[in-house]
Amino acid sequence: MTMVWVGRYALLVGLLSSSWAVFGGWAANRMRKLRWQESVRGGVMALTLCTTTAVFALEYLLMTGDYAVRAVYNHSDQALPMLYKLGALWGGDSGSVLFWGWILSLYAGWLAWRSWSRDRVLTPVVIPLVGSVSIFFLLLSNFVVNPFWPVGGHPANGVGLDPLLQNLVMTIHPPAMYTGLIGLTVPAAYTMAALWTRTPWAEWIGPVRRWTLFSWGCLSTALILGGMWAYMDLGWGGYWAWDPVENAALLPWLTATAFLHAVQLEQKRGVFRGWTASLSVGTFLLTLVATYITRSGVLKNSVHSFTGTGVGPYFVVLFWVSVAAFGWVLWSRRDMLKDRRALDSGLSKESLYLLINMTFAVIAGIVLVGTFFPVISKALVKQSVVLNVSFFNLSTAPLFVLVALVMGSAPAVRWHGTRVGVALRYLRAPIAAGAVTGCIFWLAGSRTAMDGAGAGAAGFALVSMLQEYRRGALSERRGRHRPAVVALVAAVGRNRRKFGGYLVHMAYAVVMLGVIASHTQSVSVVRTVHPGQTIAVAGYRLHYQGLNVVLHSGHQITEARLAVENGSQRWEATPGMSFFPGSRQPVAQISIHEGPLKDLYVVLEGTSGNGTILLDAMVNPLVTWIWAGMFVVAAGTLVALSAPVSRRKAGLSRDAHSGLTWQARNRHATEGRDPL
């Protein structure tokens, strides 16, 4: 049997396994059949095995170059390096749909393997919900965009992978993005399962938070990696242009961030339960919206989308079916969404958490409407109107600044309430740091008052977080005479959830400073340069020495040799243009000399027969701070995830819960009390 048929059969058996996980799972839960439940668990493991087999079969075909297979023919060729052949799996629509279904099956397999024995109340209900989404992707992979379908004839070579995707960052970015987006299916499934079974909030909100945090961390990393790819490959000197596909990935990140803060309100005070549940399921719905934008080609003003792939309408169907199902469950269990107590008025952690929730929700609303405005305007006035970058910048910048201010103020405010004077005394150092940072950015050339205010807010938040680390270390040292580093590590170890969150907040401030500086203080010079001429930009001198043509496997590069000087530093820059067979447009090979405070970014825009070139040289401040923020986000997420789950804080033990009657569970859930 060839690997093509192995892949095909694996997809078919996977579809049958996921169908049993859904329909058998519902029947087993309804009739309380424990043996059936165990068989459903086995069906989920079979689903994971089948999708894994299909993925490995396609990877084998890509590596060996079986161009009679559609996914291989469309996205690979003989000259493609092995690393990018592996990445070609998600370079096209059929492979990416399979990859999406595979990641989802891994999540389902993890639930069946690890969570089933720990939680025999929720997990058997969660599995059919996750399996329902898995059925959707396996139906697409089997009957709509099957990656193992043949092409006509016996081609000796393939079309090849899009040259823009032949980048190490772009090999990492899609798996991180898929892992984050797909992972948000699990929290939504848990939320629906918990409401349906009337499981008390204290018992399930903790696991949902951890699943969301993991997915959120992957999605955060993917967003910054996407910006890094745009900066390194597209050649316009930026990393974020409010492109519809960029916005699509941002939308679920915004609502997932709001949800993670809403969970704090539920766990500490038991308030805004309806809002919290809506954010959980709404985030999943936005992942479907994001996929629809990417796969449908409905928004023609995107440079990233898989235009005309044909799977977009299927995601519309899934979206509305999910809206109907979620809406019905939320309505039928509306008694469980009543708050446990009233929200305290005045300056309190509760009010700040609510404010940051509302702010992220408003940003998401602006981005959603702005992204779909061409479609909305077309329907209303018969003319497609595209909102430019200025709209998004002007409408969201004040809100992101507000997030930084609230984030920096939160450590000074207590639950139930704090006097303003007490909070201001606590924040004296962060306020001073924010004022200094804002002045520095303003004097360095920030263009508007909003830029200075944003830099000040970021500096304020950053120092507020650092102050919390200092306080934690001092508390550990008090009376124990520990070295500062040991005390800091001990403080973080004692409260990993809190300090992991602070680390993520620090990353937000660092990224914010990088974004403001690179957007407001960038300098660009575009010149036509002859061999032997020198151009200067922001203290850099670039001496043009001539052109070289370099042959690589599958493409050739025309590059300009530049001797660069900056004070006592000397180096050579070689910006160029890569020409790929079958591609009409060359791909920019950008020369980036990175530094902690600024980058020299050089693009070869064009050449002429006599060696004359058109050169674009930019100096972009603090861009590396954005990339550094990605690593800080990942570190903070891992620290927070490593925090142990407290059974006492989470509510109740499984044994205690299992002894309750169904009527008692309903009563306690409705009243918002823990059964114990």
Q: Are 275 and 263 in contact (CB under 8 A)?
A: no
Q: Are 623 and 518 in contact (CB under 8 A)?
A: yes
Domain end (from 607, 624, 641): 624
Q: At what angle do helices 389-409 and 349-371 cross, to 10 degrees?
A: 170
Q: How many domains does the chain have?
A: 3
Q: Are 423 and 414 in contact (CB under 8 A)?
A: no
Q: Is 486 within a domain? A: no
Q: Are residues 153 and 177 in the same domain?
A: no
Q: Which residues contact 117 (CB under 8 A, 6 or more apart)?
A: none
Write down the pLDDT at residue 553: 76
Q: Are residues 31 and 128 in the same domain?
A: yes
Both tokens assigned to 547? 């052109």
Q: Are residues 237 and 156 in the same domain?
A: no
Q: Are residues 101 and 120 in the same domain?
A: yes
Host H or E run for residue 620: strand 613-621
Residue identified by tokens 């920019």 is: 588
Using one digit for the tens of pLDDT, what is the confidence trace for 455-513? 999 999 999 999 999 999 988 887 677 788 888 999 899 899 999 999 999 999 999 99
Could you please report the per-residue DSSP string of 470-492?
HHHHHHHHTTT---HHHHHHHHH
Average pLDDT, integer, range 550-562:
88
- Residue 434 reports pLDDT greater than 90: yes
Which letter, b or e, does each residue of 241-259 get, where b requires 16 or more Cβ atoms within 10 Å of its Cβ?
ebbbbbbbbbbbbbbbbbb
Q: Is 281 within a domain? A: yes
Write down the pLDDT at residue 304: 56
Which is more confidently placed, 655 or 479? Answer: 479
Domain end (from 407, 431, 447): 407
Q: Are residues 144 and 253 in the same domain?
A: no
Q: Which structural domain range is residue 603 located in?
A: 523-624
Host H or E run for residue 187: helix 185-197
User: Would you say the C-alpha torsion 643, 648, 649, 652 has a positive or negative sign?
Assistant: positive
Domain end (from 407, 435, 459): 407
Average pLDDT, integer, range 275-293:
94
Host H or E run for residue 398: helix 389-409
Q: Is 9 within a domain? A: yes
Write down the pLDDT at residue 479: 65
Q: Are residues 270 and 184 in the same domain?
A: yes
Q: Is 543 within a domain? A: yes
CB burial of residue 45 (10 Å; 0-12, 13-18, 19+)? middle
- Residue 136 reports pLDDT greater than 50: yes
Q: Is 39 within a domain? A: yes
Q: Are residues 256 and 390 in the same domain?
A: yes
Using one digit for the tens of pLDDT, what is the confidence trace for 617-654? 999 999 999 999 999 999 999 999 998 865 444 333 33
Q: Are residues 211 and 286 in the same domain?
A: yes
The proportion of the chain whose per-residue pLDDT surpasses 70, expressed as a percent, equals: 93
Write down the pLDDT at residue 303: 57
Q: Is 420 within a domain? A: no
Rounded to the nearest integer, the mean pLDDT of the chain is 89
Which letter, b or e, does each residue of 190-218 get, where b requires 16 or more Cβ atoms within 10 Å of its Cβ?
bbbbbbbbbbbbbbbbbbbbbbbbbbbbb
Q: Are residues 193 and 295 in the same domain?
A: yes
Q: Are residues 101 and 157 in the same domain?
A: yes
- Indicate the range of 38-47, 513-522, 650-659 predicted with least confidence: 650-659
Residues in the chain, overall count: 676
* Residues 102, 55: Cα–Cα separation, whole Å: 7
Write down the pLDDT at residue 583: 76
Q: Is 481 within a domain? A: no
Q: Are 628 and 227 in contact (CB under 8 A)?
A: no
Strand order in the sheet with 523-529: 523-529, 613-621, 598-607, 591-593
Q: Is 239 within a domain? A: yes
Q: Are residues 237 and 287 in the same domain?
A: yes
User: How crowded is the C-beta side of 288, counted as CA atoms within 13 Å?
Assistant: 20
Q: Are residues 112 and 173 in the same domain?
A: no
